[in-house]
């Protein structure tokens, strides 16, 4: 059987171009070259696969030129017709992790080529992309390269061959929310007894089914005096000034926007729109007040039901946006809202 063709993506650091000072290194395709961690991968691949090309890209360059870098790299990858695409491993390097996740997901989605990457579980890229591509769980530094490659290479081979992928504990990837059956070595009762003994001894143990985590926030006490309260609007429904000046992504938003509505009495089809993907935007675009009720609040302001409507609103897109990102956005603009003396916020979704 012919060897599987692999394209490998790494950053400027692992390509030994340089550290942070070289992070603006633009994307580059090196056909026929095996670079840095690629050597270790090749060793593990044996005669089953070979790296036919390596893409090198600086972390700053990738993240600051997201669209162009992604498009360029996709073209480079496509030109090599690989059977499987491997990015990283990125360990705990945040921007490298996001780059690996972004490009691996794009290769898989846009080119239909299976992709895999690897990173430390706390790398922000892990949370953002673990449901989109297989991410092998690695240690938090490059000292864990051997261990990372030992999991990455066999998973890449399986993906390249189109073989079924086992459960996360078997393959070593970060759990991706898809439950996969497999046979354990011991029966369930024996595992339960062992788990209990560990739990009783205060030793670490690993549950086989993590309970879904709901971030329950206790509501604040009700606003006593609405007639004098300053109310702000915040939305995850993607309402932005026409043209989407901050380029908020239609899904998996990486940022939020702050917009001034001083003097705006009504959102119209000519002035505002939604950036949100994943639902039919016709009604939101025809009248954005349906998602961000500026018109109604202006009425209430006039009627004296509320003190005033804050002149700034904050908007992002909820569609597929990582909970961690959403938390980060809110933590940031909540401080601004507080500093501006806002008493209460009306939060709307799509």
Partner 1 sequence: MKLEIGNIFIKDIQFAAEAKVADGVLYVDKAALEKVVLEDETIKSVSFDIAKPGESVRITPVKDVIEPRVKVEGPGGIFPGIIAKVDTVGSGKTHVLKGMAVVTAGKIVGFQEGVIDMSGPGAKYTPFSETLNLVMVCEPVEGLKQHDYEKAVRLAGFRVAVALGELGRDVTPDETKVYETCGMKEGIEKYPNLPRVAYVQMLQSQGLLHDTYVYGVDAKKTLSTILWPTETMDGAIVSGNCVSACDKNPTYVHENNPVVEDLFAQHGKTLNFVCQIITNENVYLADKQRSSDWTAKMCRLLDLDGVIVSQEGFGNPDTDLIMNCKKIEAQGVKTVIITDEYAGRDGKSQSLADADPAADAVVTGGNANEVIVLPKMDKVIGTLDYVNKIAGASAETLQPDGSLVVELQVITGATNETGFIKLSAR
Applying CB under 8 A, the residues found at the interface with partner 1 are 167-170, 175, 177-193, 195-197, 199-200, 205, 207-213
Q: Shortest approach of partner 1 to residue 166 CB, angstroms?
A: 9
Structure tokens, 179:
């439950």
Burial 117-140 (b: 16+ CB within 10 A, else e): bbbbeebbbbbbbbebbbbbbbbe
Nearer to partner 1, 210 or 219 (CB): 210
């996360």: which residue's tokens?
A: 168
Task: State the nearest-atom distance from the C-beta of 280 to partner 1, in Å.
Answer: 23
Q: How far is the CB of 297 from partner 1 (least distance, A)?
A: 36
Separation CA 185–CA 182 (nearest Å):
10
Residue among 21 and 170 whose Cβ is closer to partner 1: 170
Min CB(252)–partner 1 separation in Å: 18
Containing H/E element for 15?
Answer: none
Minimum CB distance to partner 1 smaller for 177 or for 221: 177
φ and ψ of 339, to 5 deg: -60, -30
Give the closest residue to 174 by CA, choosing from 127, 137, 119, 206.
137
**DSSP state, residue 23:** T
Prior bond of 89 cis (ω within 30°): yes
How far, in Å, CA of 302 to CA of 280, rounded?
Answer: 32
The label of the residue with tokens 């633009």 reads: 26
Is the CB of 207 or the CB of 262 nearer to partner 1? 207
**Minimum CB distance to partner 1, residue 121 (Å):** 14
If the CB atoms of residues 23 and 116 are measured against partner 1, the closer one turns out to be: 116
Comparison of 187 and 338: residue with beta carbon closer to partner 1: 187
In sequence order, what are the residues at sequence separation of 6 or more whose Cβ sits closer than 8 angstroms to the Cβ of residue 132? 101, 104, 105, 108, 109
The minimum distance between CB 125 and partner 1, in angstroms, equals 21
- Distance CA(238)–CA(227), nearest Å, equals 28
DSSP 39-95: HHHHHHHTTSEEEEEEEEE-HHHHHHTHHHHHHHHHHHHHHT--SEEEE---TT-HH
Q: Dump the DSSP string for 109-120.
A: III---EEEEEE
Nearer to partner 1, 196 or 269 (CB): 196
Q: Which is nearer to partner 1, 164 or 341 (CB)?
A: 164
């Amino acid at each position: 059987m012919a060897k599987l063709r692999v394209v490998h993506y790494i950053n400027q650091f692992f390509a030994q171009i340089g550290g942070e000072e070289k992070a603006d290194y633009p994307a580059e395709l090196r056909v026929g070259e095996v670079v840095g961690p690629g050597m270790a991968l090749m060793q593990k691949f044996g005669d089953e696969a070979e790296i036919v090309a390596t893409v090198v890209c600086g972390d700053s360059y990738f993240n600051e030129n997201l669209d162009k870098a992604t498009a360029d790299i996709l073209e480079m990858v496509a030109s090599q017709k690989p059977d499987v695409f491997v990015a990283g491993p990125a360990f705990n390097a945040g921007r490298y992790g996001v780059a690996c996740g972004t490009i691996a997901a794009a290769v898989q989605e846009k080119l239909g080529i299976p992709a895999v990457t690897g990173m430390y579980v706390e790398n922000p890229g892990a949370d953002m992309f673990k449901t989109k591509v297989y991410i092998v769980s690695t240690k938090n530094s490059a000292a864990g390269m051997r261990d990372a490659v030992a999991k990455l290479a066999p998973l890449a081979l399986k993906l390249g061959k189109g073989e079924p992928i086992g459960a996360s504990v078997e393959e070593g990837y970060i759990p991706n929310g898809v439950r996969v059956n497999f046979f354990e070595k011991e029966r369930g009762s024996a595992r339960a007894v062992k788990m209990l003994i560990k739990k009783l001894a205060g030793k670490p143990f690993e549950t086989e089914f993590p309970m879904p985590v709901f971030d329950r926030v206790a509501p604040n006490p009700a606003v006593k005096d609405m007639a004098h309260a300053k109310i702000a609007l915040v939305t995850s429904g993607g309402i932005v000034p026409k043209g989407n000046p901050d380029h908020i992504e239609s899904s998996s938003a990486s940022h939020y926007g702050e917009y001034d509505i001083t003097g705006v009495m009504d959102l119209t089809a000519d002035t505002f729109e939604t950036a949100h993907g994943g639902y039919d935007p016709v009604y939101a675009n025809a009248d954005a007040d349906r998602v961000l009720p500026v018109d109604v609040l202006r009425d209430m302001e006039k009627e004296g039901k509320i003190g005033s409507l804050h002149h700034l609103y904050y908007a992002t897109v909820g569609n597929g946006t990582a909970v961690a990102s959403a938390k980060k956005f809110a933590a940031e603009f909540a401080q601004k809202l507080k500093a501006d003396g806002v008493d209460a916020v009306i939060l709307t979704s799509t």
